[in-house]
Amino acid sequence: MEGRRRVPEANRPVLFSRQGGNFSPMFPEVLEELETMPVGTVLDGELRVVVGERMDFNALARRRGRDRRCWPLVVYLVFDLLALTGTDLRLRPLQERLDRLGKLLPPPPSVIQPVPATTSRNKALTWYEELRPYGL
């Protein structure tokens, strides 16, 4: 929810890069699923390309200038729910936001995937070791 970004089309989902660029045209499959979300929803996440059993952030650049039929599979890994129906949730407790996010996201199979979250340091370190080979 960074203040002054202009939404290209009112009430349509938009994918912004960290630098504020509009990535929407490059990821129509993600936009299609985001259109089911309530207007005014803001998610924080990261796009990743699926390469075999791994996820590869750097492979996103390979979509530019290529025939859409050759585009690799993309998933949108969602970390947080920042706003819902225009209500800013950033000051709400993280667990509350994650609970709401879990109810909001489409069921599998979906290109939109929640990222597991925990407040346990030990569990997080275990996940880090277990999921690192998959690019997570």
Indicate the pTM of the whole model.
0.78
Residue 58 falls inside a structural domain: yes
Residue type, 64: R
DSSP letters spanning 113-136? EEPP--S-HHHHHHHHHHHGGGT-
Residue 3 falls inside a structural domain: no
Residue 114 falls inside a structural domain: yes
**Residue 125 structural domain:** 24-134
Residue 9 falls inside a structural domain: no
Per-residue pLDDT of the chain (136 residues; tens, 9 = 90+): 444 444 445 678 888 888 888 888 888 889 999 998 999 999 999 888 887 777 777 777 776 666 667 777 888 999 999 999 989 999 999 889 999 999 999 888 889 988 888 778 998 889 888 877 766 6
Residue 83 falls inside a structural domain: yes
DSSP letters spanning 19-86? TS-B-GGG-HHHHHHHTTSPTT-EEEEEEEEEETTEEESGGGGGGTTS-GGGPPPEEEEEEEEEEETT
The Cα–Cα gap between 83 and 72 comes to 30
Task: Kindly report the CATH number assigned to the domain that includes residue 116.
Answer: 3.30.470.30
Hey, how many other C-beta atoms are within 10 angstroms of the C-beta on 96?
A: 11
Residue type, 49: V
Residue 63 falls inside a structural domain: yes
Q: Structurally, how many domains does the chain consist of?
A: 1
